[in-house]
Amino acid sequence: MKIIQGNIFTSSCQTQVNTVNCVGVMGAGIALEFKLRYPDMFTKYASLCEQKQIDIGKLWLYKNESYWVLNFPTKQHWKYPSKLNYLQRGLDKFMQTYKDKGIQSIAFPVLGAAKGGLSEDRVLNLMEDYLKDCTIPVEVYQYDPTATDDLFIQFRQRILESSDAELMQQSGLRKQAINKLSDALTDNSICTISQLSSVPGIGAVTLEKAFALTRAPVVQKQNSIFDLN
């Protein structure tokens, strides 16, 4: 198990771990970043929660052609703290199933230690106990608020290099929201998407609309068949 102080979204591991609750909300922290990055995954997750399929000790592996995300419940409800026995049940399940699921390398955050409120040292000790016999590369990321990632840099560049009029038209955001977002992105102390959500006036809806711009394909003018000779 390799402990890294940094940003989990810079990992080259095949699978990244997202910490979730069991009620279909990804409203803060690392879960919000996963939601913004992978909206199709969030839609499926919310549906599974409605069906009561997401629960403590049940891990849901979402696969895409370019990424795998292991959704790991660390809370019953987003309002309540994590518990060590929740982590134990999930880690036990992971160790039982990772080979059968085809997981070849994996990057974890420190489970339940940020929004979950657990002691980071206790969590790391617990993770080491469970993961020490894992036969694949395992990275555990300690959150570094100064560590950014390529997608955030791309997002900041897209917002700051576009005019207000372009952003309003493409995102549906109001000028006031765009101004708050632009002001925040000029602050060099803000290095991640989730940090933006703590800025007064920038909520999850604003981030969802703005972040969609980084996934939108570049619209190019195409010739009509009537223009061809």
Active site residues: 75
Q: What are the tokens at 102?
A: 């085809």
- Nearest-angstrom CA–CA distance, 4 and 187: 25
Under a CB-based contact definition with an 8 Å cutoff, are residues 9 and 146 in contact? no
108 DSSP β-pair partners: 140
Which strand ranges, in their side-by-side order, compose the sheet holding 106-109? 2-6, 138-143, 106-109, 15-20, 68-73, 60-63
H or E element that contains 11: none
- Nearest-angstrom CA–CA distance, 9 and 32: 13
- Neighbour tally for 139: CB within 10 Å: 20
